[in-house]
Structure 1
Amino acid sequence: MLKTLERALRWSSGLMAAMALFSIMWLTVVDVTGRKFFSHSVPGGLELTEILMVIVIFGALPLVSWRGEHVVFDSLDAFTPDWLRNIQTRIVNLVSAAVFGFLARLMVMRAERFAEYGDTTVHLQLSIAPVAWMMAGFLLLTALVHLLFVFVAAPTPSHHMAPVAGERAAP
């Protein structure tokens, strides 16, 4: 079941973030080429880049949480017993789920306000509400990932290095 969930995350949020990053790359190439050789940049290029960056950042959140690739302070792990580290991990995931859920709720409220006021980008007049809804969705998905890890052990990231002689392996 965890493999299926990982595949779903990779093909949804991961693919979306990768496509947005790829789009930023080509938008930048076209924009710089246009400025250098034709003295014209892409109209609304900055707005498009900002929206695509939001997709990259928020789209990667669920996958980063799933893979445990976030920043970790593990200086005391060598002195912490396994049973305590297990409890600590579950508490951290519970707090993370609550925080991401709260942020998702705030973003939903913001998206509703954007939609109500009809807020748009300055140059291209693109609606901002769908971007805020997407952010809320990714935040909620990240909260659900952390909530799952309160009850089910998180998959061990494959990129963790082997311990140095005399050190314990990371969980």
Structure 2
Amino acid sequence: MLKTFEKVLQWSSGLMAAMGLFTIMWLTLFDVTGRKFFNHSVPGGLELTEILMVVVIFGALPLVSWRGEHVVFDSLDHLIPPLVKDIQNRLVELVCALTFGGLAWLMNQRALRFAEYGDTTVYLQFSIAPVAWLMTGLLVLTALVHLVLVFSPQHEADSVEQGGAV
């Protein structure tokens, strides 16, 4: 079941982040080439890059959380007994789940306000609300990942195999 969940994460948020980064790469290439050789940049290139950065960062967040690839301070972990460390890890995952859930709620409130006011980007006039809702969805997915890790029976074994703490 957890392997299936990981595959779904890789094929959803991982692929989304990879495609966003790939698109940023090509957009930057065309923008720089256009400025250098044709004295004309890609119209709205900055706005597109900003939106794509949202896709990359928030798209990668659930997968980074699942793999426990966050920056951690674990220099004292060898002094903590395994049972206490397991409880500590599960409490941290619960706090992370609640935090990401709260952030998702706040982002949804912001998205509703963007939609209500009809906020758009300056140059291309793209609606900002769908981007905020995408952020909301990915924050909810990240919260769900942390919630799964709270109750995962292989939680401790997985984090040790990956070479880091959660």
Q: TM-score range by the shorter chain?
A: over 0.9
Match of 2:34 in 1: 34
Change (3 A) 1:51 1:158: farther
2:34 is matched by which residue type in structure 1? Answer: G
Match of 2:55 in 1: 55
2:85 is matched by which residue type in structure 1? Answer: R
Match of 1:143 in 2: 143
Match of 2:6 in 1: 6
Where in structure 2 are there 5+ consecutive unaligned residues? none
1:157 Cα offset (Å): 6.8
TM-score where L is the length of structure 2: 0.94
Is 2:139 the counterpart of 1:160? no
Match of 1:66 in 2: 66
Match of 1:18 in 2: 18
In 1, are the aligned partners of 2:67 and 2:162 still within 8 Å (CA)? no
Inter-partner Cα distance in structure 2 for 1:150 and 1:81: 18
1:156 is matched by which residue type in structure 2? Answer: S
CA RMSD of aligned residues (A): 1.4
The runs of 4+ residues in structure 1 deviating greater than 6 Å are none
Match of 2:114 in 1: 114
54-63 or 148-157, larger mean C-alpha shift = 148-157
1:82 Cα offset (Å): 0.4
Is 2:131 the counterpart of 1:128? no
Inter-partner Cα distance in structure 1 for 2:131 and 2:27: 19
Identical-residue share of aligned pairs (%): 71
- CA deviation vs aligned residue, 1:140-166 (integer Å, no higher than 9, x gap): 0000110111111333375528xxxxx
TM-score where L is the length of structure 1: 0.92
| Larger helix fraction of residues | 2
Where in structure 1 are there 5+ consecutive unaligned residues? 162-169
**What SS class does the counterpart of residue 63 from structure 1 fall into?**
helix
In 2, are the aligned partners of 1:96 and 1:146 still within 8 Å (CA)? yes
